[in-house]
Chain A
Amino acid sequence: MKGAAISIEHLVKTFPDGTRALRDISFEVKPGEFVVIIGLSGSGKSTLMRCINRLIEPTSGRILIDGVDITTLSHEEIRRLRRSIGMIFQQFNLVKRAPVLTNVLSGRLGYLPASYALMNYFPKEQVDRAMANLARVGIPEKARTRADQLSGGQQQRVGIARALMQEPKLILADEPVASLDPATSHSVLKHVEDLNKKDGITVLCSLHFLSLARRYGTRILALKGGEIVFDGLPADIDEQRFKAIYGEDAVEVEIR
């Protein structure tokens, strides 16, 4: 499997209330990169990710994925685009009352006829695939458990398994470990890294802790007030750059 190449040109997003979340953003991501996006809350990280799978409509600019401009796609084409992009969320966004297996299987919905949904039917090979993905993230025994019975780390691994069901070429991870403790954060990010290294999936991942960003990212992109203020290698972020991103009063907190 080959990861997606992304090219973003002059992306602008202004919300109806006048908030300018993204101001003229341009960058390129090569297939198989693990790009970590850092920045303060409200710097535009989430908006940027949601523009890439059109959960948020960009105001202007172009987003090319593998050379296709996705800002002009029709409704049906957006659905086909979305199924090739896995998304992982800070709050996991699982259906809490549903079993883990159903949550994982729901990642495959984009490939299945809508009529199956009325019967709550999933083909056997998809159930097998879901079990295999659960095994890959290390919790096959939780398949029949209700999602809200799981710990935070386990829920996020269900989120990863759900994204895997899409056979994605790109994964958007929106602060995937912000609700987790440090040890669990590493185990979750290692699974994401595994997808990136073994399957070659391109990863765009926003993180709060610079230490995590340095450990997992092959490249770091820093946003501030809707603009890119840093784009480079993890090792290049020194104290001066850090203060430029996070503000004068910021102190770096280590997480190991």
Chain B
Amino acid sequence: MKQDVAAPRPIVVRPRPWFQSGKFLLFLAGLLVVYAYGWQVTKIDLPELVVGAKFVRPFLRDLFRPEVLTRSKQTQQVEIAMSIDRAVAPEDLPAPTGPVLEVPTRVAPIGTELPVTGRGFQPDAQGTLYWLNPIGNPQQVARFRTDAAGAFTTAITVPEAFRGPEAGPRGAQQRLRAVVEWPVGGLRASNTLLIVFEKIIETVFLALMGTTIAVAAAVPLSFLGARNLMAKNPVGSGIYYATRTFFNIMRSIEPLILAIVFTVWVGLGPFAGVLALGLHSIAALGKLYSEQIESIDPGPIEAITATGASALQVVRYAVVPQIVPPFIAFTIYRWDTNVRMSTVIGFVGGGGIGFVLQQYINLLQYRQAATAVWAITLVVAAMDYFSAVVREKYV
């Protein structure tokens, strides 16, 4: 075809750069409003990070010294009677057997510099000198280390000591105590470690039982929630939508909330946690399983059917190889997720490690809490690795 009319000269409209367009400026203003409100409503207060640092420091420090191993300790203790009043004689204590603690004078007013020697103690051990007032409250006055012969020399300043409830000569009679401590035997697991170990095992099994319950229910349900199998007639479609709705609703309820419900129902303890994780996982796994069934390749089914195989053989050789490995992978992944979730489920009384962790934190036992935190970290990381290896093998 011939063109008689010359094409009109194109009018070149250079668009404004994108950052000058009205839409973009409007978007920017909207964004500003959103974040300004967000900043205010979440009470963001950056200086508090600096001010509050001193409160969190002991916790952070203890996080890196979890209580894991301990050694039994043996102690030696010797006391001598002292007086802080020149008019009052020291008590008459029976002569000690074993180690000996010696001072040049038994009468020393407050503030006196007093050399102290000892002998016959455990060699090469740490010791502490305490000043005891009449009601027996110890006050640390020196630390020392015994030499190879079990002797030591140190000096103390007689402290400002309480004279006891009733004034009088009795209040001047005080004591000096030497305590020497040394570890005996090998390292052993601390009680905290034993408790944490028991609870972490409980946690892993809590997750395992929850996952198992979920698998048992989710496998059959997932077939009802697979569109390619169910949505062939109105009844099937109805079942499909009902199943999918159940999955979606259950999935949106946090296991933590389910755990609160179940602790009311069956009482505090791991069983409530198992039920909470199980119910949530039915929905989570059911959705993953049914999507896997939906994405199944019809090719092998057609091919195996064409060889004259029976329905059972078709399922075994065309369907099972396509769904079982991903099912295993999803299940392991879910177990891994459930181990992580079950650590928090303990916070609301659902059993497992979270329960003891919460106790330690509430009692300010940060070193013990650190043991629990590290145990959770190790187990979750191990599960993560394990599930990754298994998934890589199967998918």
Contacts and interface: CB of A to CB of B under 8 A. Distances in A.
**Does B bind A?**
yes
B302 A106 contact: no
Contacts of B305: 55, 82
19 contacts: A55-B305, A55-B306, A83-B307, A84-B308, A89-B299, A91-B299, A92-B299, A93-B303, A94-B300, A94-B303, A95-B318, A106-B309, A109-B309, A109-B310, A111-B308, A114-B312, A117-B312, A117-B316, A162-B303
Given A95-B322, A106-B317, A117-B313, A85 B304 contact: no
Contacts of B302: 55, 89, 93
Contact of B304 (A53, A92, A106, A114): A106
A87 B305 CA distance: 10
Interface of B: 297, 299-300, 302-310, 312-313, 316-318, 321-322, 325
Contacts, number: 80
B307 A162 contact: yes
A82 B300 contact: no
Contacts of B310: 79, 109, 114
Given A91-B299, A95-B322, A114 B307 contact: no
A102 B307 CA distance: 14
A87 B321 CA distance: 21
A166 interface: yes
Residue of A81, A95, A166 contacting most chain B CB atoms (<10 Å): A95
Nearest to B305: A55
A7 B352 CA distance: 72
Closest 5 CB pairs of A and B: A110-B308, A83-B308, A93-B299, A82-B308, A93-B303
A102 B317 contact: yes
A136 to B, nearest CB: 18
Contacts of B304: 106, 109
Given A102-B317, A120-B316, A110 B322 contact: no
Contacts of A111: 308
Interface string A55-96: 100000000000000000000000111111111010111111
Interface in A134-174: 159, 162, 165-166
A82 B307 contact: yes
